[in-house]
């Protein structure tokens, strides 16, 4: 079974550690093993200096100050700290929060936790492209609203929310704005001042850095944002996140951002061209395909596409070695198809048929062509054995059929 070629096209799940990042990390995994909080010896000073350098680099990438960065274990923790921390700190103002149903589970689940503790959550509608309506956001904000949490780039469909506009609306209304920028940090333009962002989550391993490290940007001026911690201990990170700093991870995270910003525009254009090449081939050589997500405002690396009349997991089985993911229920433990596609109004049948491709810095044109060939062949083969494709070709409206579902 391992005689097939391996092609990684799942870059929204994670990315390969850039070897140059590993080189920068290596001393801190070996000889420079000090604790950045040790103020009494060289080992600690060396670690602290490296962390400070990474902190300044990462802050500069956001248009922020080093003291506004809180290091965490990853974006899930950052999202939890932002949402639980802000809601609990400011509950004197009110207990209302605003978000959208297409957010990552690391945003949805802490919000649901708060809901069970007495907070009220407004879930904004999304349209068929996964975009929110800014007027609906404006009218959803109330005097007791504490926080709006809306992601920058969607991990499944790639749709970008207009965070500058959202930030302006929140600032004018005096409401805190948190954005989960896990998919966009180092890729899309982000400036916390220009975009009026108060809290921002990011992760190392989505941008060719190591796993197990993330950050939360916490605004210190205009307004100064305070958070109730969610874990307690040594008072690290100005008391907001106790726990020994992951020095090699932080150093790698900083280096990863430097590499992303070195030629960001060029790299983004190259990846978008590869994505477009894949999309163009799939759309021109297959019938009954639907691209999900916003076609204009989207991640350069993402392609989410439904191949009608075949089920996603069976397609993945037909392209061994090509690493992609599916919105099909069959690839998850939940037995429910993608909640993101469902929120956009994509039917469950097309959600079951959806595949997410993600290109990366290391993807080559040859890999894209190979993947396209393989996917096209697998789709055709599976459609030959699909009763739904047969019916569609016969002109039968599948919505008019009385199905005997379970």
Partner 1 sequence: MVYSEKVIDHYENPRNVGSLDKDAENVGTGVVGAPECGDVMKLQIQVEDGVITDAKFKTFGCGSAIASSSLATEWLKGRKIDDAGTIKNSDIAEELALPPVKIHCSVLAEDAIRQAIADFQSKQAQPAEAPASEEAPAS
Strand extents, DSSP E, 88-240:
96-99, 120-123, 145-149, 176-180, 199-203, 214-218
Q: What angle do CA 222, 150, 143 make, to 5 degrees?
A: 60
# residues near partner 1 by CB under 8 A: 30
Give whichever of 262 and 397 is closer to partner 1, judged by the CB atom.
397
Which parts of 319-348 interact with partner 1 (CB under 8 A)?
A: 328-331, 333, 335, 337, 347-348
Six token digits for residue 118:
């007495």
**Do residues 150 and 132 make contact, with C-beta atoms less than 8 angstroms apart?**
yes
Which parts of 82-141 interact with partner 1 (CB under 8 A)?
A: none
Give whichever of 45 and 339 is closer to partner 1, judged by the CB atom.
339
| Distance from the Cα of residue 13 to its chain's centroid | 8
Q: By CB under 8 A, tell whether 56 contacts partner 1.
A: no
Smallest separation (angstroms) from partner 1 to the CB of 397: 12
Q: Which residue, chain included where needed, has tokens 């000073």?
A: 45
Smallest separation (angstroms) from partner 1 to the CB of 73: 28
Please identify which residue in 349, 361, 370, 376 interacts with partner 1, judged by CB under 8 A: 349
260 as an active site residue: the answer is no
Please identify which residue in 128, 194, 385, 396 interacts with partner 1, judged by CB under 8 A: 385
Residue 284 CB-density burial (10 A; 0-12 exposed, 13-18 middle, 19+ buried): exposed
Phi, psi of 166 (to 5 degrees): -60, -45
**Do residues 48 and 36 make contact, with C-beta atoms less than 8 angstroms apart?**
yes
Smallest separation (angstroms) from partner 1 to the CB of 367: 23
Smallest separation (angstroms) from partner 1 to the CB of 310: 7
CA distance 131 to 152: 11
Give whichever of 38 and 331 is closer to partner 1, judged by the CB atom.
331
| Distance from the Cα of residue 382 to its chain's centroid | 31
Give whichever of 18 and 156 is closer to partner 1, judged by the CB atom.
156
Contact track, partner 1, 168-187, x by CB under 8 A: --------------------
Smallest separation (angstroms) from partner 1 to the CB of 277: 28
CA distance 170 to 172: 5
Please identify which residue in 304, 311, 341, 368 interacts with partner 1, judged by CB under 8 A: 311
145 prior amide bond cis, ω within 30: no
Smallest separation (angstroms) from partner 1 to the CB of 1: 8
For residue 304, the surrounding DSSP H or E stretch is strand 302-307
Please identify which residue in 39, 221, 224, 406 interacts with partner 1, judged by CB under 8 A: 406
Q: By CB under 8 A, tell whether 390 contacts partner 1.
A: yes
Active-site annotation holder among 272, 273, 330, 376: 330
Please identify which residue in 152, 178, 275, 352 interacts with partner 1, judged by CB under 8 A: 352
Is residue 229 classed as helix, strand or coil in its secondary structure?
coil
Q: By CB under 8 A, tell whether 398 contacts partner 1.
A: yes
Smallest separation (angstroms) from partner 1 to the CB of 304: 17
Give whichever of 134 and 392 is closer to partner 1, judged by the CB atom.
392
Q: By CB under 8 A, tell whether 10 contacts partner 1.
A: no
Q: Which residue, chain included where needed, has tokens 């350098």?
A: 53
Q: By CB under 8 A, tell whether 265 contacts partner 1.
A: no
Q: CB-based contacts of 248: which residues, under 8 Å, 6+ apart?
A: 25, 28, 29, 210
Question: For residue 65, which of 191, 184, 206, 236 has the smallest C-alpha distance?
Answer: 191
For residue 358, the surrounding DSSP H or E stretch is strand 354-358
Please identify which residue in 254, 309, 356, 360 interacts with partner 1, judged by CB under 8 A: 309
**Do residues 148 and 172 make contact, with C-beta atoms less than 8 angstroms apart?**
no
User: Which residues form the interface with partner 1 (CB under 8 A)?
Assistant: 309-311, 313-314, 317-318, 328-331, 333, 335, 337, 347-349, 352, 384-390, 398, 403-406
**Residues forming the active site:** 330
């Amino acid at each position: 079974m391992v005689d097939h070629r391996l092609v990684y096209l799942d870059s929204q799940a994670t990315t390969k550690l850039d070897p140059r990042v590993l080189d920068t990390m290596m001393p801190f995994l070996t000889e420079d093993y000090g604790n950045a909080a040790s103020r009494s010896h060289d080992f600690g000073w060396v670690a602290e200096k490296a962390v400070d350098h990474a902190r300044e680099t990462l802050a500069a990438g956001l248009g922020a100050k080093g003291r506004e960065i809180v290091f965490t274990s990853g974006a899930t923790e950052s999202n939890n700290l932002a949402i639980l921390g802000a809601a609990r700190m400011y509950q004197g103002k009110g207990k209302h929060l605003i978000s959208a149903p297409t957010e990552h589970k690391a945003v949805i689940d802490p919000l649901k936790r708060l809901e069970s503790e007495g907070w009220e959550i407004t879930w904004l509608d999304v349209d068929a492209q996964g975009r929110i309506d800014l007027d609906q956001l404006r009218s959803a904000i109330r005097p007791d609203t504490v926080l709006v949490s809306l992601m920058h780039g969607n991990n499944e469909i790639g749709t970008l929310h207009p965070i500058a506009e959202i930030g302006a609306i929140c600032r004018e209304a005096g409401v805190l704005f948190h954005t989960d920028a896990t998919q966009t940090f180092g890729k899309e333009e982000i400036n916390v001042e220009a975009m009026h962002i108060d809290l921002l989550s990011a992760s190392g391993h989505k941008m060719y850095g190591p796993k197990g490290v993330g950050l939360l940007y916490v605004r210190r001026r205009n307004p100064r944002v305070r958070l109730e911690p969610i874990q307690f201990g040594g008072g690290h990170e100005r008391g907001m996140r106790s726990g020994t700093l992951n020095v090699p991870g932080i150093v790698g995270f900083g280096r990863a951002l430097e590499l992303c910003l070195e030629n960001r525009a060029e790299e983004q254009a190259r990846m978008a061209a590869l994505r477009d090449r894949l999309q163009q081939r799939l759309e021109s050589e297959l019938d009954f395909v639907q691209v999900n997500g916003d076609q204009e405002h989207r991640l350069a690396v993402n392609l989410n596409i439904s191949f009608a009349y075949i089920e996603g997991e069976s397609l993945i089985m037909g392209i061994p070695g090509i690493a992609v993911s599916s919105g099909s229920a069959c690839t998850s433990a939940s037995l429910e198809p993608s909640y993101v596609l469902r929120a956009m109004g994509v039917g469950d049948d097309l959600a079951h048929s959806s595949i997410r491709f993600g290109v990366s810095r290391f993807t080559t044109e040859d890999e894209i062509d190979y993947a396209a060939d393989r996917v096209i062949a697998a789709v055709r083969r599976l459609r030959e054995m699909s009763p739904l494709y047969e019916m569609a070709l016969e002109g039968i409206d599948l919505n008019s059929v009385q199905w005997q579902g379970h």
